[in-house]
Amino acid sequence: MQFLDFEKPIQDLYEELDRIREVSKKSKVDLSASISDIEKKIEESKKSLYKNLSGWQRVQLSRHPERPYTLEYIERISEGFVELFGDRNVKDDKAMVGGFGQIQGQTVMFVGHQKGNTTKQRQYRNFGMANPEGYRKALRLMKMAEKFNKPIVCLIDTPGAFPGIEGEERGQAEAIARNIQDMFLLTVPVVCVIIGEGASGGAIGIGVGDRVFMMENTWYSVISPESCSSILWRSWEHKERAAEALKLTAKDMLGNGLIDGIIKEPLGGAHVNPEEAAKNLQKKIVESLKELIPMDAEERIQERMAKFVKMGVFNEA
Amino acid sequence: MTWFKRETQGIFTQTEEKKEVPEGLWFKCGSCKTTILTDDVHANSWVCPKCDYHLRIGSDEYFEILFDNKYTELDANLEAANPLEFVDSKPYSDRIKATQKSTGLKDSMRTATGKVDGVPMTICCMDFNFIGGSMGAVVGEKIARAVDHCIANRQALMIISKSGGARMMEAAFSLMQMAKSSAKLAQLGREKLPYISLMTDPTTGGVTASYAMLGDFNISEPGAMIGFAGPRVIKETIKRDLPKGFQTAEMVQETGFLDFIVHRKELKTKIAHILRMLM
Ligand SMILES: [Zn+2]
């Protein structure tokens, strides 16, 4: 397991545990008492460490290299997934995946950003940064879901839409704008979940839903803490401060009424126990669909719009 | 994640974000360097009579150019709040107050309603000199109310964009204005009322990626910079030079995302003509 800088105390305890186990094995001395002592210590320090993570620490967890990504979640929460490729126009964007699958017998259309687990995969997936064709592929699949009256599940995990020449020329801004607007008019239920990083337009480009949830150790904002820091303080050094200022954690977002709920992760993050994380995710999706499917399509659209139209705080003299 | 490079200029360098509207008797064109009587530039819709350079102007100037004699401003009392208690070099609320004082504006967008060449319409216009024309909750709400006004009065809507993108100090609230404005424009569309989006120099980031690109008519002025990511960010990402003319209105029209580019002097008659054909 890879540990993050702030997880050092726990890493130390794990290393001590390994050492004692080794000694016990070699010397054939029964050290089970000290072993269970350390195991208890690990549990306790985990509990206290993860109880009050800072914004920046959540950002770090959201980017943990072992964190489950979209296709892994789809694999874990659905059966019979059929991946569908291409935007029927330019190409297939590897940073955006989608297709039909069944969650406990209910057919849904999955759409989501995809990151890679290895260096090669990361490049192949363009680090989860989609181009316009990715957003148009997502919209194509969502419209197909609408045609067959199947709900849509969007899994969001992106450091941003890709800033490149071809992307600009093919209308990155138009693609994102179109998705946002057309998602409001979808006649089928839409459930969106931030499963990792929710960076600005690249995230909200598949982020308009009847329900929008964040997993516990994710972030969602208009800019990354690093970029925010470099703009405000002209260096990436103040990313911790920027992360606090942006109020980008699930708890902050729920408190500000910008999301509908938080999905619990296992202690230490989704990567510690992906199965448990997936189970929690599945439960929330199933729950939401149970509420949304019986609703009248127009009523759902009106509520979806009203929810987002309410967002924003201002003064009126 | 990278929409703010341009806004950086807006935040830190006061001179660069100033409107180009000259205050003295004489005006020296930034493009062709000719010195011209300010009145002549004004009479020419703030376009250099020598080289056709379109000066960066604000809501006052656009309203004057577009409306027939008089117009009524709507929702003029909306002001930014500071829900996140955001502090950078100074608290966001202080920055708002200071910017209001220096610009005489309440925020980066004003709405007005009146007649354009006899055609009743409502226009939302952004002011770049208000924190880089950044989009916060006030902008979202102004668009929302303008749409409601258009629906109630069966009018067309025009939004004149000029923006560095989302307003960082409102963080996720600002991001959600992309959704809010798009939802309201969807409502306008369902009522079959026309929406004209005029993208002026510069239109970037979350503004381009929401209401600016959603027009029934996406139009621009000659030479305007229009893009999603800022050129510096793209250059840093791809590590090569950008093609000539990249992200200019002319190129954006060539790649298929603008209906037309219109000279500012013809703007008023052209949009009125289109609306007359439709309504
Ligand atoms: Zn000139």
The CATH fold assigned to B58-278 is 2-enoyl-CoA Hydratase; Chain A, domain 1 (3.90.226)
The string of pLDDT tens digits covering residues B94-130 is 999 999 999 999 999 999 999 999 999 999 999 999 9
Q: Are A100 and A128 members of one domain?
A: yes
User: What residues of B are in contact with residue A298 (Cβ under 8 Å)?
Assistant: none
**Backbone torsion region of residue A281, taken as left when φ is above 0, otherwise alpha when ψ lies between -120 and 50, otherwise beta:** alpha
* pLDDT over threshold 70, residue A20: yes
**Cβ–Cβ below 8 Å for B89 and A163:** no
Q: In CATH, what number is assigned to the domain containing residue A74?
A: 3.90.226.10
Q: Which of A239, A314, A316 to mutate to test the interface with B (most CBs of B within 10 A)?
A: A314
**Shared-domain flag, residues A28 and A161:** no
Is residue A98 located within the same domain as residue A160?
Answer: yes
- Are residue A108 and residue A203 in the same domain, yes or no? yes
**A221–B140 C-beta distance less than 8 A:** no
Where in the sequence is the domain holding A103, given as residue range(s)?
A: 59-309
What is the DSSP annotation of A235-267?
Answer: SGGGHHHHHHHHT-BHHHHHHTTSSSEEE---T
Same domain, A173 and A84: yes
Q: Which of B3, B182, B228 sits opposite A168 (nearest CB)?
A: B228
Judged by CB atoms closer than 8 Å, whether chains meet at B83 and A256 is answered as yes
Instruction: For chain A, give the percent of residues with pLDDT over 70.
Output: 100
Is the domain of A9 the same as that of A88? no
Write the DSSP symbol of residue B168. Answer: G
Residue B213 CB: number of other CB atoms within 10 A?
A: 29
Mean pLDDT of A33-45: 92
Partner-chain contact A167 B228, CB within 8 Å: yes
Question: Are A45 and A76 in a shared domain?
Answer: no
A145 and A42 share a domain? no
pLDDT digits (tens, 9 = 90+) for B25-72: 999 999 999 999 999 999 999 999 999 999 999 999 999 999 998 999
A237 and A122 within one domain? yes
Query: pLDDT per residue over A274-287, tens digit each?
Result: 999 999 999 999 99
> Is the pLDDT confidence value at B148 over 90?
yes
Residues of chain A with pLDDT > 90: what percent?
Answer: 93
| Same structural domain, A39 and A84 | no
Chain A contact set for B3 (CB, 8 A): 200-201, 222-223
Cα–Cα nearest to B177, from B124, B226, B218, B219? B124
Residue where a domain stops, chosen among A52, A74, A89:
A52
Q: Is A241 inside a domain boundary?
A: yes
Q: Which pLDDT tens digit goes with each residue over B158-212?
A: 999 999 999 999 999 999 999 999 999 999 999 999 999 999 999 999 999 999 9
A23 plus A121 within the same structural domain: no
CA of B263 to the centre of ligand 1 (A): 14
Interface contact A201-B206, CB threshold 8 A: yes
Residues β-bridged to residue B37: B26
Domains of chain B, residue spans: 1-55, 58-278
B216-271 residue pLDDT tens:
999 999 999 999 999 999 998 999 999 999 999 999 999 999 999 999 999 999 99
Q: How many domains does chain A have?
A: 2
Number of H helices, E strands in chain B: 11, 10
Summarised one tens digit per residue, pLDDT across range A295-313 is 999 999 999 999 999 999 9
pLDDT of residue B18: 60
A289 and A178, same structural domain? yes
Would you place residue B14 in the very low, low, confident or very high pLDDT band (cuts 50, 70, 90)? very low
Is the previous residue joined to B202 through a cis bond, with omega within 30 degrees of 0? yes
pTM: 0.95
Residue A315 belongs to some domain of the structure = no
